[in-house]
């Protein structure tokens, strides 16, 4: 990884990801909107080399999937579901009905589940049963009636059995063998096989993320969630081997991940680089890791105060705090999707079993939102009932405001009632 000053790193942080996929993704979306299922079959063959006979995963395929996974794998899925359920259930319990009374007007606000959602589970370079857990569990807890999972098939037209089992255990209603930008378009506009959904959630690569952005006028989306980002903020107390392992663990997702170290110690910086060089020659997925760290990674050195400023400027998906007083530093991080505190809270563990959701905002969207949660599958429903006496009470002020905005018919509609 290149070693630079924090001052230089600030200029790099200003540069947003270049999106070179917009025109290609727009073309895919238009084809799916126009041709529906036939476009999905065509794109699976063209882009993924798969000849599909059916998009929907059958009940028999799901039953067979259970025969292809081990008890340990099922136990791991169940444990991840249990821990995430505990977190999301605690959040949902806080979301009670609210009633506000002002004179003769009564307002109620309640949290109502969405009717139908689409959960994108990535595939391709790796399999992600964990992403099925992270998206389906909060949707189910929110009370969503119809949870549709879309995920890319392999070259034989099959879905990874662990993904199928995870989606089934967590409560998905339907699973479809389709991935990429065309899957997002299908969820947004609907096809003969795949129903149009109210909201699309889940992480994905550059094409999927672009597609979510482009269809947001047709279906709500959770966030732009991908590719992966990790910043580690460390001082001379950090273990260079652990820092290197954590950077490598996120870099292995894909070559377009962004994994960076910000440190106050030049000694640590050099040791981490040395550890990465040693690891990169022996570990699996080394080509992806080497490409990611070389093209998108850096180690920035400077004062702790500047390191905190830089971390907030980058606004990464994950930030790990590995300093002498990590809790104190963590309180100053305001823009990350997820803040992991201390040497024993690696992002790799949070991706699976710590009870937090690993579907997180990227592209600096951590400035305005956090992880996927039960909140993403609920809408605030507002109901209001007023009375004639209350309309009389606000009459004078209503007249003033409507006249100020030159909308006299607004006032006329109320005046008739009083």
pLDDT at 15: 64
User: Which listed residue (88, 275, 317, 358) is catalytic?
Assistant: 317
Which fold, 2-15+227-358? Rossmann fold (3.40.50)
Residues 6+ apart with CB under 8 A from 289: 248, 251, 252, 280, 283
Selection from 192, 213, 88, 191 nearest residue 200 by Cα: 213
Q: Is 280 exposed, middle or buried (CB count within 10 Å of its CB: 0-12, 13-18, 19+)?
A: middle
| Domain(s) of CATH 3.40.50.1980: residues in the chain | 2-15+227-358, 36-221
Please, what is the Cα angle at 173 between 168 and 174, to 5 degrees?
A: 90
Give bridge partners of residue 232 from the DSSP assignment. Answer: 261, 320
Taking CA atoms, 115 is separated from 49, 64, 143, 192, 194, in Å, by: 34, 29, 8, 19, 15
Give catalytic status of residue 358 as yes or no.
Answer: no
Give catalytic status of residue 182 as yes or no.
Answer: no
Pairing status of strand 2-5 against strand 105-113: unpaired
Taking CA atoms, 415 is separated from 389, 405, 407, in Å, by: 12, 17, 13
Please, what is the Cα angle at 230 between 224 and 232, to 5 degrees?
A: 150
Give bridge partners of residue 201 from the DSSP assignment. Answer: 119
* Residue 351: strand, helix, or coil: coil
User: Which listed residue (252, 253, 275, 318) is catalytic?
Assistant: 318
The pTM of this model reads 0.93
DSSP conformation class of 112? E
Q: Is 102 exposed, middle or buried (CB count within 10 Å of its CB: 0-12, 13-18, 19+)?
A: exposed
Phi then psi for 171, rounded to 5 degrees? 110, 20
Contact 174, 148 (CB under 8 A): yes
Selection from 399, 395, 341, 337 nearest residue 370 by Cα: 337
- Give the whole-angstrom CA distance, residue 19 versus residue 325: 38
Which residue ranges of the chain lie beneath pLDDT 70?
A: 14-20, 124-126
- What are 334-392's pLDDT values in tens digits? 999 999 999 999 999 999 999 999 999 999 999 999 999 999 999 999 999 999 999 99
- Give the whole-angstrom CA distance, residue 256 versus residue 289: 10
pLDDT at 205: 86
Taking CA atoms, 103 is separated from 100, 142, 214, 381, 386, in Å, by: 10, 33, 45, 21, 9
- What are 270-298's pLDDT values in tens digits? 999 999 999 988 899 999 999 999 999 99
**Which option is the CATH number for 36-221: 1.25.40.420, 2.30.110.10, 3.40.50.1980, 3.40.50.300?**
3.40.50.1980
């Amino acid at each position: 990884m290149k070693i630079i000053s924090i001052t230089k790193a600030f200029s790099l942080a200003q540069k947003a990801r270049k999106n070179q996929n917009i025109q290609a993704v727009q073309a895919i979306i238009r084809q799916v909107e126009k041709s529906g299922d036939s476009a999905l079959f065509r794109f699976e063959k063209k882009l993924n080399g798969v000849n599909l006979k059916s998009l929907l995963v059958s009940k028999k395929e799901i039953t067979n999937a259970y025969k292809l996974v081990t008890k340990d794998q099922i136990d791991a899925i169940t444990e991840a579901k249990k821990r995430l359920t505990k977190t999301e259930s605690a959040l949902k319990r806080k979301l009670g009905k609210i009633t506000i009374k002002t004179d003769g007007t009564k307002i109620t606000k309640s949290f109502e589940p969405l009717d139908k959602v689409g959960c994108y589970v990535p595939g391709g370079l790796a399999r992600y049963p964990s992403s099925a857990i992270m998206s389906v569990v909060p949707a189910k807890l929110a009370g969503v009636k119809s949870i549709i999972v879309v995920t890319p098939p392999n070259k034989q037209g099959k879905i990874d059995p662990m993904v199928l089992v995870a989606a089934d255990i967590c409560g998905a209603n339907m699973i479809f063998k389709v991935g990429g930008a065309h899957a997002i378009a299908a969820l947004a506009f609907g096809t003969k096989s795949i129903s149009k959904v109210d909201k699309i959630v889940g992480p994905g690569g550059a094409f999927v993320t672009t597609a979510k952005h482009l269809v947001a006028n047709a279906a709500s989306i959770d966030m732009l969630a991908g590719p992966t980002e990790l910043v580690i903020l460390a001082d001379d107390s950090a273990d260079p081997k652990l820092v290197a392992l954590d950077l490598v663990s996120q870099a292995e997702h894909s070559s377009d991940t962004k994994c960076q170290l910000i440190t106050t110690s030049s000694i640590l910086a050099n040791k981490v680089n040395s550890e990465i060089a040693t690891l990169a020659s022996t570990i699996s997925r080394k080509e992806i890791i080497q490409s990611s760290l070389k093209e998108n990674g850096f180690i920035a050195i400077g004062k702790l105060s500047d390191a905190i400023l830089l971390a907030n400027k980058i606004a990464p998906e994950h930030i790990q705090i590995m300093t002498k007083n990590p809790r104190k530093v963590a309180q100053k991080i305001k823009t990350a999707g997820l803040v992991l505190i201390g040497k024993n809270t690696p992002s790799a563990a949070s991706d699976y079993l710590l009870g937090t959701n690993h579907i997180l905002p990227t592209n600096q969207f951590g400035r305005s939102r956090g992880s996927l949660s039960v909140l993403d599958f609920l809408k605030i429903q507002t109901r209001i009932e007023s009375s004639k006496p209350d309309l009389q009470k606000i009459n004078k002020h209503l007249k003033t405001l409507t006249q100020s905005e030159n909308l006299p018919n607004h006032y006329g509609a109320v005046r008739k009632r009083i």
